[in-house]
Chains A and B, each alone.
Chain A
Amino acid sequence: MTFGDVDMETVVKTENLHKVYSDGLEVEALKGVNLDIERGDFMTIAGPSGSGKTTLLNLIGGLDVPTEGHVFVEGRDLSKMRKSELADLRRTRLGFVFQSFNLIPVLTALENVEFALTLRGVEAGERRDKAVEILKRVGLDEGMINRRPTDLSGGQQQRVAVARAIVGEPALVLADEPTANLDTENALGLLDMMARLNEERGVTFLFSTHDPRVMDRAKRRVTLRDGTVVSDERVSRES
C-alpha cells in the first residue's frame, strides 16, 4: 500500500532537503538530503561536527523548517502543516531525546513523563500507571521518580527523557547525541534499553551521533558530510 509516493512502511521520507542558515554568515547545513527511514529501523546518522546531523533531526521532527525540499512523516508533508498541527504530530507520532536532556525543571521525573501522556489525553489513573511502569523500565527506581531533574544525575535525567519520549509509543524516536553527556555504564544501559524497545515494540529510532557505542548497536548507519549523505549501509547481525 502506498501513500502518495511513500510506502506505508516508510516512516520518514526526505526529498532534496536543503537548509541554509543566514544569521550573518550564510551557511548551507544540508545540501539536498534524500533519505527513507523504515519502520523498525534502529539507525544512526553519523558525521563530524557541522555535518548537518542535528539539522536533519530537527527538520524531520518538525522543529525547524527546510529552506528547500520536503519532509514526509507517515506520508504527511510537514511543509504543509500549521504550527499547531506540527505540535500535534510531535505529540502523537514522535518522541525526542536531546543531548542536554531538556526536562521541564519544575516538574518531577514522574510528572515530566506524565506531561507527555497528558498532552495525549490519557486519563489520570492510566497516565500514572504508565509513567511509573516506563520509568521502571528505563531503570529509574521508585525513590527517584518523585525527584525534580536538578536532584537527578545526568544518566538518570536522560533515562527520564527517554521514558518521556517513548511513553506515548511514538512511531519514531529522534535522539540527538543521547549519550554525549553520559558515562559508559549509563550510556550502555540506555542503549540496551532502547534496543530492547526497538526489538520488542518495533519503535523506530533515529540517532544523531558520533559515539561509537551507539553506532556499534545500529542496524543501519548513515553518514553525513558537509550536508550530504555520503554513505548509507545496513548492518547485518548474527544473533
Chain B
Amino acid sequence: MKRLPLMRTAWRNVWRNKRRSAITIAALAVAAGSTVWFMGWGDGFTEKMAEDTVKSGMGHVVVEPKGFEKDPQISEYIDDPAPVVSLIEGTDGVETWAPRVEARGLATTPENSMGAVVFGVDPARERRASVFPNRIVEGSFFGYGDEEGVIIGHKMADVLGVELGDPVGVMVQSLDGEVRAEAYELVGIIRTGNPMFDNGFVILPIAAAQELIGYGSGYNKIAIIAESAGDASKIRDAINDRLPPDDLEALTWYEVSPQAYQFYQMMLVFMGFMLILLIVLASFGVTNTILMSVLERVHEFGVMAAVGLRPFQVFRLIFYEASVLSFIGVVVGLIAGGILTWINSIYGVDLGFWASGVQMTGLLDPVIFFALKPYAFVVTGIAVFFIGVVSSIYPGIKAARFRPVEAMRHV
C-alpha cells in the first residue's frame, strides 16, 4: 500500500482545535523546558559542589594516615612527609600539592569562646591549592614564610567580637595529650558563604599549627590538586600502589567527604524523581488532551473506517497527531528552557536563603551558575518526545477499536 496522507491529515487535525493543541503543546513545553532548566541547575550545582569541595582545602586526592577520616586521632599523622611528597611529585597528573595540619579545638577571646577546626596551611602552597587566600574580606592572607597570625571566618569574628589586630586564642589538644593554647594576632577575615567555614574555621600558618600540636615537621594530610578533576581516581590508585600499605592511604575527594558525595547522590535521586514527576504529569496532560480530541472525533473515525481505513491506520493517525504535538512542544520547551538556563548560567541563582543545605553540600558560596550542556537537550528532547507519543497509545487504541457504525452514530 502506498504512503497515506495520514501525516497531512494529522497536521491539520492538530490545528482544528487550536486551544486544545496549545494546551497540549504547553504541557509538553513546560515539561521539556523545566527538565532542561532543572538539569542545568543540577549539573551546575553538582559541578560547583565538587569544585568547591576540592577548593575548600580537600584537593582532588588526599594522602593521610589510614583510617584518619573515620576516626581522626591527633596521634595519627605523617611524621616524615618528604618521601610521600617526593612520591606525589613523581605521579602523573598532579598539578600541585599542599600540606595540612588539622585539629579540633577552641577559638577564644577573654569574653568568648567557640569550637573550631584548626587548619594549618602552607602560606605559599595554599594559594594554588584552595580558594581561602582569595576569600579574604578584611586584612590579608599570610605572606610567604609567615609563621604567626590567624585568619578566621567573618561570622566567628562577629561572635568573638574581634577585629583585625586583636589577639585570638587558639586551644588544642597536643600530641602529648596536654591542652595547649596560644594567642595570635588576627591578620585576616574570610567570607566564603558557607557557614561551616565562616563560622567554624581557624586558619594558622602550618609552622604555627605544627608547633602548637607538637608535630615537628609532620602533617595530618597532603592535599593534591589534579591537572584534571577526572584524573582523581587514577592519581589515587597510582599513589596507593607505592605507599606503605599499613600506614598511609590516598583517597579521592568524594571518599573523604562522604556527606558531600551522599548529598551529590541524593541530588541525583531527587533530580531523577523530579524529572519522572514532570514527565508523568506531562504524559497525563497529553493523554488527556489527545483522548479528548479522539472522543470529539469518534464520528469522523467511523467515516474513515467506512471508506476503508484499517484500525491500525486509525491508530497511526492518532500517533502522528501526538508526534506533531510532541515535536512542537519539545522544540518550544527546549528553546524556552535553554534561554532560561543560559540566563542562569550567566547570572546564577543565590541559594543564600538555604544556609543549612549549603553547609551540608560544602559549597563555598551559595550562588549556583547553571550548566548549559548539550546532553541535557538531547536526553530531554528524546524523553519528552517519547513520552508524548507513548501517551497517544491508549487514545490510539481506543480510536482503532471503534466499530464504524457505532462511531458514525456518535455526534
Interface residues of A (CB under 8 A from B): 58, 61, 63-65, 83-84, 87-88, 90-92, 96, 98, 102-107, 111, 114-116, 118-123, 164
Contact = CB atoms under 8 A, between A and B. Distances in A.
A121 B405 CA distance: 25
A91 B185 CA distance: 96
Interface string B397-411: 000000111101000
Contacts of B406: 64
Contact of A102 (B309, B405, B408): B408
A87 B400 CA distance: 12
B2 interface: yes
A96 B310 contact: no
Nearest to B2: A121
A87 B305 contact: yes
Contacts of B307: 90-91, 96, 115-116, 119, 164
Contacts of A96: 306-307
B110 interface: no
A122 B2 contact: yes
A98 B408 contact: yes
A98 B404 CA distance: 13
B4 A118 contact: yes
A115 B308 CA distance: 10
B307 to A, nearest CB: 5
A174 to B, nearest CB: 9
B389 to A, nearest CB: 20
A63 B306 contact: yes
Interface-central residue, B1, B302, B309, B405, by most chain A CB under 10 Å: B405
A84 B312 CA distance: 8
Contacts of B403: 63-65
Contact of B306 (A61, A105, A120, A123): A61
B4 A87 contact: no
Given A84-B310, A87-B309, A87-B310, A104 B303 contact: yes
Contact of B308 (A90, A103, A111): A90
Contacts of B5: 107, 111, 114-115, 118
Contacts of A87: 305, 308-311
B182 to A, nearest CB: 86
Interface in B14-62: 16
A114 B311 CA distance: 19
A193 B373 CA distance: 66
Interface of B: 1-2, 4-5, 9, 12-13, 16, 299-300, 302-312, 403-406, 408
A2 to B, nearest CB: 28
6 contacts: A64-B406, A87-B311, A90-B305, A106-B13, A116-B307, A123-B2
A104 B405 contact: no
Interface-central residue, B12, B13, B308, by most chain A CB under 10 Å: B308
A88 B310 contact: yes
A51 to B, nearest CB: 17
A55 to B, nearest CB: 9
Contacts of A84: 310-312
Contacts of A107: 5, 9, 12
Contacts of B304: 104
A104 B9 contact: yes
Contact of B2 (A88, A102, A118): A118
A106 B9 contact: yes
A88 B306 CA distance: 10
A90 B306 contact: yes
Nearest to A87: B310
Contacts of B405: 58, 63-64
Contacts of A63: 302, 305-306, 403-405, 408
A63 B299 CA distance: 13
B4 A92 contact: no
B408 to A, nearest CB: 7
Given A119-B4, A123-B2, 7 more contacts: A63-B403, A64-B403, A84-B312, A98-B303, A102-B408, A107-B5, A119-B308
Nearest to A174: B306
